[in-house]
């Protein structure tokens, strides 16, 4: 009886094993056929790209313009990977996508020699390529070695941007910005210029107002899932007005060569000056919503 059960178990195992092996073999054969097709297509593309390069070399030797070269397999893989990254960005509502909001700060503004001011603002991307941002400056304690002490410092800035796709995780942008800034500060033992005359004083209170506009170009680089780094530069013009009040110990020094290249804190009255925006911003993604 015991041998009968062993024989029956052996027959059942033998009956089921060919079916399992045949299914696994079918999967392996199917996978191998797919790989063969892919490799065959890649070899054809590589040969076609080499033929195109050889044809263009012969055309250029004969003084004729070259034709378009077909993409090599490596280029096709690289572009496909880049497009997949952009699709992933859209699917996860990241940077390159409509209706996205960022908090931004400009740490490079702390290098301003006329007063420390940290602009903080919000950028809203209302389409895949257009954005607008508004910033307001947070004044920092400032007292220079030359006797300047800032009492109040108000700064506001607005810009509009057009974004362009460069490569994965990096976008170029062109922007138009307008800004205004008002400072109220005191100055000990300074001077100011008005017209072609220079005056010195022992103490003065100054109201400084400036406003202007400029064009800028920059790049937005994705550092992590929610953090982006921006660098920009540009040029424009600005209007400057200084009013000196409560001036004590005023003395006339004499004539000068004009106030075009004088320090902007030491020019009384109004003037127009060139403006060169340059800075680095850090952005943090706070909300996003896929546009239609």
What's the pLDDT tens digit per position in 102-137? Answer: 999 988 888 887 888 889 999 998 887 889 999 999
Phi and psi (nearest 5°) for 128?
-70, -15
Averaged over 231-245, what is the pLDDT? 93
- Across the chain, mean pLDDT equals 78
b or e along 162-184 (b: 16 or more beta carbons within 10 Å of the residue's beta carbon)?
ebeeeebbebebebebebebebb
CATH architecture label of 100-288: Beta Barrel (2.40)
Are 280 and 230 contacting, i.e. CB atoms less than 8 angstroms apart?
Answer: yes
User: What number is the average pLDDT over the span 23-38?
Assistant: 59
More confident residue, 94 or 148: 148
- The residues with which 198 forms a beta bridge, in sequence order, are 193, 254
3-state secondary structure 133-150: EEEEEEECCCECCCCEEE
Burial class for 251, CB neighbours closer than 10 Å (0-12, 13-18, 19+): exposed
Is the sign of the CA dihedral 281, 285, 287, 291 positive or negative?
Answer: positive
Percent of the chain with pLDDT over 90: 28
Nearest to 111 by CA among 140, 150, 87: 140
């Amino acid at each position: 009886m015991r041998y009968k059960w062993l024989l029956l178990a052996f027959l059942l195992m033998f009956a089921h094993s060919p079916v399992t092996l045949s299914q696994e073999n079918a999967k392996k054969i199917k996978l191998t056929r797919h790989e063969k097709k892919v490799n065959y297509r890649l070899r054809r593309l590589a040969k076609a790209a080499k033929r195109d390069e050889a044809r263009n070399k012969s055309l250029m030797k004969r003084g004729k313009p070259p034709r378009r070269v077909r993409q090599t397999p490596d280029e096709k893989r690289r572009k496909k990977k880049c497009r997949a990254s952009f699709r992933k960005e859209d699917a996860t509502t990241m940077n390159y996508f409509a209706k996205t909001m960022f908090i931004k700060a400009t740490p490079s503004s702390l290098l301003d020699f006329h007063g420390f001011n940290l602009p903080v603002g919000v950028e809203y991307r209302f389409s895949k390529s257009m954005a607008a941002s508004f910033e307001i400056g947070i004044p920092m304690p400032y007292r220079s070695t030359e006797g300047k002490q800032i009492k109040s410092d108000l700064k506001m800035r607005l810009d509009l941007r057009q974004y362009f796709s460069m490569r994965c995780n990096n976008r170029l942008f062109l922007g138009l910005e307008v800004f205004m800034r008002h400072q109220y500060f005191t100055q000990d033992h300074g001077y100011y210029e008005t017209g072609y005359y220079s005056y010195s004083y022992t103490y003065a209170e100054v109201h400084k107002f400036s406003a202007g506009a400029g064009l800028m170009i920059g790049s937005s680089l994705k550092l992590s899932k929610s953090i982006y780094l921006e660098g920009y530069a540009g040029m424009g013009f600005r209007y400057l007005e200084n009013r000196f009040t409560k001036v004590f110990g005023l003395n006339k020094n004499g004539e000068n060569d004009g106030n075009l290249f004088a320090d902007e804190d030491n020019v009384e009255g109004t003037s127009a000056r060139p403006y060169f925006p340059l800075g680095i911003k850090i952005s943090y993604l706070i909300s996003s919503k896929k546009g239609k």
